[in-house]
Amino acid sequence: MKIHEYQAKELFKQYGIKVPNSKLCERREDIETILKTMKMPCVIKAQVHSGARGKAGGVKLAANYEEAVKVADSILGMELKSKQAGLKKVNKILIEEGIDIEKELYLSLTFDRANESIAMIVSTQGGMDIEEVAKNSPEKIYTQQIGNDFNPIKIIEKMGFNEDISEKIANIVKKLYKLTIEKDALLVEINPLVITKQNEVIAIDAKINFDDNALFRHEEILLLKDESEENPLELQAQKEGLNYIKLDGTIGCMVNGAGLAMATMDVIRIAGKEAANFLDVGGGAGSEKIEKAFRLLISDKNIEAVFINIFGGILRCDFLAEGVKNAIQNLNINVAVIVRMEGTNKEIGAKILNDSGLKFTVVKDLNEAIEVIRKI
Amino acid sequence: MSIFINKKTRLIVQGITGKEGSFHARSCQEYGTQLVGGVTPKKGGEEILGVPVFNSVKEAINEVQADTSMIFVPARFAAGAIIEAAEAGIKLIVCITEGIPIYDMMNAKKAVQLNGARLIGPNCPGLITPNEAKVGIMPSNIHKKGNVGVISRSGTLTYEAVYQLTQLGIGQSTCIGIGGDPIIGTNFIDVLREFQMDSETKAICMIGEIGGSAEEEAAEYIKNNITKPVVSFIAGLSAPEGKRMGHAGAIIAGGKGTASSKMEALTSCNVTVCRNPANLGITIKNIIDKM
């Protein structure tokens, strides 16, 4: 789960990590009142879940009050390109007092999958896309796995800072580590972490991603979820316990199991089409859940056909057939429906579909499915 | 022979009194697995499926000499259950549970390693040695005894592959789903090593998916250590970057972990990569027929 910069900074404050003075603004009529209380220059930052907000025009500096009003007015309500949700309206801005920057660093703690541990990544190339830095000047990135005998100061001193600054950065690392573990964060990133002319170390940006599987023990984090950032179909699916991801193609698909769902998307591509979605209905779905899943699937206006591919182990084919039949009867659907069922009770399932009087194309295996989809 | 489980396996189920736990414990028992007991805290002394329920894994080991445990405990308690099994001395732990927090698994895996146990999963369908033992949730009837070893990060996609094999008359030595999470106990390489040593396994079917670098590492290992033919399919060629495809581990991030890079790595290491999942069975059959 992702949260906004302003929310991440609130968490930083709770853990004693310094951030600039800032205020959140959600309404146009509040812009002037808020700006009057703040020191100039200031930075105005769109609060959307997206990297590269600066490039998209969502982060701007203002030298004085008049300019700040103008900038804030232009960013609040603007449409910003966001990776997660396409074109995204900016509903919140963060107004932040300017900092006298001496140097910009990059600092993050992240779950390192290759080593199955938490890693610290630090670089003197702050404020830039860290993946670009890794590609172009890898010698400027220091990575260290965090184990029991971890001492961040050893690495930080190597980077050429004086003792005072090294100490301050190491302290921030320790606080970030505490946050990471206590809140089940998979990524905590400060880019840039700034050393000021007054020798302070301040987090100018903040990004935190949490482990979805651990949210059951973090109600306080769940409260930070911004539903407007999510695709509405995906959000609806989540609420119904379905694993759904909207994609750009035209063949809707419904599958049980994530691996088979991906393979089914691949099969659709082999047939010369693209999947409209990823949908894993899970192992124990009953006919009601199947019906809901089917409704969700076809509410996507881009689809021209639906391919149902079920390998029934725990999921019974008769439940599947019942759910699909009900959905189609109740919804008056006019797209082609292709069904491939294998496993538990597949004969009963096939009978339900055949007796329904509705139009299905039942295929016996994936190769036959490819042939049918190709002809759509 | 076979790998990890056979007729001698003495299985307990942690979470045996739950709905899923009892359903699958029964299915394993019906398949012929020696189910010797179950564990559910505070339900010790009861009986289910004709076997005793214990309060702890330790008790189950002492009383019925369990050596293998299958875990159905809910996600928030599952890492604790793995640690309990490892510390009590269970040799093979198969964790079916899905949705365990990553940092919980980090700790659980350390405990497993420290105690010299083997963990399969979590978030996996388990494993089966046809006609000998099943410790998992896969549909029993699609399997057939034979000489192809199957390893996979997925559940139902494994069933698909096995089904295709069986339809073509090709049996399996052991089929293992290693799980779709970022941290798993047993990886491709661990299983490949066992299949290489297993005299009954003549060919290997390896099913991977996007995310991480397990397939690339396996490719390197195959090149240097595996003399048996390996056929592979990687799911997610059509998956976009940055979207998590169901499994917590199945995500392309920063351009890494794509299906095509995995396929390339495997191809360059003498693995036969099957690009169409519909043709997995026939590809393996063609190779076996030539052996």
The alpha carbon of residue B31 is apart from the nearest alpha carbon of chain A, in Å, by 15
- Evaluate whether residue A196 is within a structural domain: yes
Domain that residue B94 falls in? 10-120
Dist. CA A366–CA A370, nearest whole Å: 6
Name the minimum distance, in Å, from the CA of A112 to any CA of chain B: 10
Domain of A163, CATH number, reads 3.30.470.20
From A195's Cα to the closest Cα of chain B, the distance in A is 28
In tens digits, chain A (376 residues) has pLDDT values of 999 999 999 999 999 999 999 999 999 999 999 999 999 999 999 999 887 788 888 999 999 999 999 999 999 999 987 655 568 889 999 999 999 999 999 999 999 998 999 999 999 988 877 778 888 888 888 999 998 778 888 888 888 889 999 999 999 999 999 999 999 999 999 999 999 999 999 999 999 999 999 999 999 999 999 998 888 888 999 888 899 999 999 999 999 999 999 999 999 999 999 999 999 998 777 788 888 898 899 888 899 999 999 988 767 888 888 888 888 888 777 788 999 998 878 889 889 988 888 888 999 999 999 999 999 8
Displacement of CA B8 from its chain's centroid (Å): 19
Is the Cβ of B157 closer than 8 Å to some Cβ of chain A? yes
Alpha carbon of A172: minimum distance to chain B alpha carbons (Å)? 21
Global confidence as pTM:
0.93
The answer to whether position A67 is within a domain reads yes
Of A114, A259, A365, the CB nearest to B235: A259
Nearest-CA distance B96 → chain A (Å)? 12
CB within 8 Å of chain A, chain B residues 204-223: 207, 209-210, 212-213
In a shared domain, residues A205 and A313: no
For residue B172, tell me if it sits in a domain: yes
Residue B273: beta bridge partners? Answer: B232
Co-location of A106 and A45 in the same domain: no
Domain membership flag for residue A10: no
Indicate whether A106 and A218 sit together in one domain: yes
Chain A contact set for B163 (CB, 8 A): 311, 342
Determine, for residues B139 and A312 on separate chains, whether the beta-carbon distance falls below 8 Å: yes
Of A217, A258, A284, the CB nearest to B246: A258
Over the stretch A276-321, which tens digit does the pLDDT of each residue have?
Answer: 999 999 877 778 888 889 889 988 889 999 999 998 876 788 888 8
Distance from CA of A214 to the nearest CA of B (A): 5
To test the contact with chain A by mutation, choose from B96, B156, B166 the residue with the greatest count of A C-beta atoms within 10 A, namely B156
The one-letter code for the residue type at A105 is L
Residues of chain B in contact with residue A344, where contact means CB-CB under 8 angstroms, are 139
Instruction: State how many domains chain A has.
Output: 3
Residues from chain A contacting residue B20 (CB–CB below 8 Å): 284
- Report whether A42 contacts A22 (CB < 8 A): no
Q: Taking the CA atoms of chain B, what radius of gyration do you get in angstroms?
A: 18
Do A368 and A236 lie in one domain? The reply is yes
Residues A42 and A70 in one domain: yes
- Interchain contact, B277 vs A263, CB within 8 Å: yes
Q: How far is B51 from chain A (nearest CA, A)?
A: 23
Partner-chain contact A259 B99, CB within 8 Å: no
Which residues of B are less than 8 Å from A343 in CB distance? 139, 142, 159
In the prediction, which pLDDT does B157 show? Answer: 94
Active-site residue identified among B24, B134, B247, B262:
B247
Kindly state whether residues A123 and A172 are assigned to the same domain.
yes
**Residues in chain B closer than 8 A to A262 (CB atoms):** 157, 209-210, 235-236, 238-239, 245-246, 250
User: Is the bond preceding B139 in cis, omega lying within 30 degrees of 0?
Assistant: no
**A244 sits in which H/E element:** strand A243-246
All residues of chain A having their beta carbon less than 8 Å from the beta carbon of residue B249 are: 113
Chain A residue with the nearest C-alpha to that of B162: A311
Query: Cβ–Cβ of B158/A259 closer than 8 Å?
Result: yes
Within an 8 Å CB–CB cutoff, is residue B260 touching chain A? no
Q: How far is CA A35 from CA A67, A74, A112, in A?
A: 11, 14, 41
Q: Per the CB < 8 Å rule, is A213 touching B154?
A: no
Assess contact for A270 and A261: CB atoms under 8 A: no
CATH code for the domain in which residue B47 is found: 3.40.50.720
Q: Specify the pLDDT at position A82.
A: 60
CB B201, CB B170: distance < 8 Å: no
| Boundary of a domain, candidates B85, B120, B155 | B120
Give the gap in angstroms from C-alpha A278 to the nearest C-alpha of chain B. 7
Same domain, A197 and A319: no
Nearest-by-Cβ selection for A256 from B156, B239, B248: B156
Alpha carbon distance B190, A146 (integer Å):
25
CATH of the domain at B252: 3.40.50.261
Indicate if B232 and B159 belong to the same structural domain: yes
Question: A300: domain CATH number?
Answer: 3.40.50.261
Q: Are residues A253 and A370 in the same domain?
A: yes
For chain A, say whether B279 makes contact (Cβ under 8 Å): yes
Residues A106 and A82 in one domain: no
The range of the structural domain enclosing residue A119 comes to 101-222
A202 Cβ neighbours under 8 A, 6+ residues apart? A18, A19, A20, A99, A193, A194, A196
A-chain residues near B112 (CB < 8 A): none
Q: What angle (nearest 5°) sits at the alpha carbon of residue B192, between those of residues B186 and B195?
A: 115
Q: Spell out the SS3 assignment of B219-277.
A: HHHHHHHCCCCEEEEEECCCCCCCCCCCCCCCCCECCECCHHHHHHHHHHCCCEECCCH
Same domain, B172 and B261: yes
> From CA A371, how far away is CA A374, in angstroms rounded?
5
In the structure encoding, which two tokens stand for residue B90, read together? 């269970």
| Rounded (10°) CA dihedral B16, B18, B22, B25 | -50
- The interface pTM score, or ipTM, of the predicted complex is 0.93
Structure confidence at residue A331 (pLDDT): 79
In a domain, A361, yes or no: yes
Boundary of a domain, candidates A97, A114, A133:
A97
Would you call B159 and A255 a contact, using CB atoms and an 8 Å cutoff?
A: no
CB A70 within 8 A of CB A59: no
Q: What DSSP line would sit under A339-375, residue for residue?
A: EEEEETTHHHHHHHHHHT-S--EE-SSHHHHHHHHHT
Of B102, B155, B277, the CB nearest to A257: B155
Interchain proximity A262–B250, CB inside 8 Å? yes
**Which tokens belong to A66?**
């008049």
Same domain, B110 and B142: no
Q: Is-contact A216 A267, C-beta < 8 A?
A: no
The C-alpha atoms of residue A121 and residue A141 are separated, in whole angstroms, by: 7
Residue B286's H or E segment, with its range, is: helix B280-290
Q: Which residues of B180-199 are buried (b: 16+ CB within 10 A; e: fewer)?
A: bbbbbbbbbbbbbebbbebe
- Contact at 8 Å (CB) between A306 and A273? no
Nearest-Cα residue of chain A relative to residue B207: A259
CB contact under 8 A, B238 and A367: no
Please, are residues A159 and A91 in contact by the beta-carbon 8 Å criterion? no
Residues B102 and B48 in one domain: yes
Between chain A and chain B, how many beta carbons pairs sit less than 8 Å apart?
A: 158
Domain's final residue, options A74, A97, A120: A97
Residues, chain B: 291
Query: In terms of domains, do A138 and A55 share one?
Result: no
Are B92 and B201 in the same domain?
no
Asked if residues B78 and B53 have their Cβ atoms less than 8 Å apart, the reply is: no
Residue B129 lies in a domain: no
The answer to whether B247 contacts A261, with C-beta atoms less than 8 Å apart, is no
Candidate from A212, A269, A313 with C-beta closest to B159: A313
Q: Do A263 and B160 touch (CB under 8 A)?
A: yes
SS3 of residue B187 by DSSP: coil
Count CA atoms within 13 Å of residue A322 on its CB side.
Answer: 12
Residues B286, B150, single domain; the answer is: yes
Residue B253 domain-assigned (yes or no): yes
What is the reported pLDDT for A86? 67
Same domain for A370 and A313, yes or no, is yes
Nearest to A266 among B244, B249, B277 (CB): B277
- Concatenating the DSSP letter of every residue in A199-219 gives S-EEES--EEEE-GGGGGG-H
| CATH number of the domain where residue A39 is located | 3.30.1490.20
Q: How far is CA B194 from the centre of its chain?
A: 13
Say if residue B148 is in the same domain as residue B116. no
Q: How far apart are CA B188 and CA B174, in angstroms?
A: 14
The DSSP-derived string for A12-28 is: HHHTT-----EEEE-SG
Residues of A with catalytic annotation?
106, 189
Q: Indicate whether B115 and B198 sit together in one domain.
A: no
Q: Is residue B125 a part of any domain in this protein?
A: no
* Pair (B147, B78) in one structural domain: no
Q: What are the φ/ψ torsions at residue B267 (nearest 5 degrees)?
A: -60, -40
Which residues of chain B have a pLDDT value below 70?
Answer: 1
Q: Tell me how many domains chain B contains.
A: 2
**Does residue B133 fall inside a structural domain?**
no
DSSP B132: T
Q: B162 and B96: one domain?
A: no
Domain final position from A46, A64, A97: A97
A62 and A82 both lie in a single domain: yes
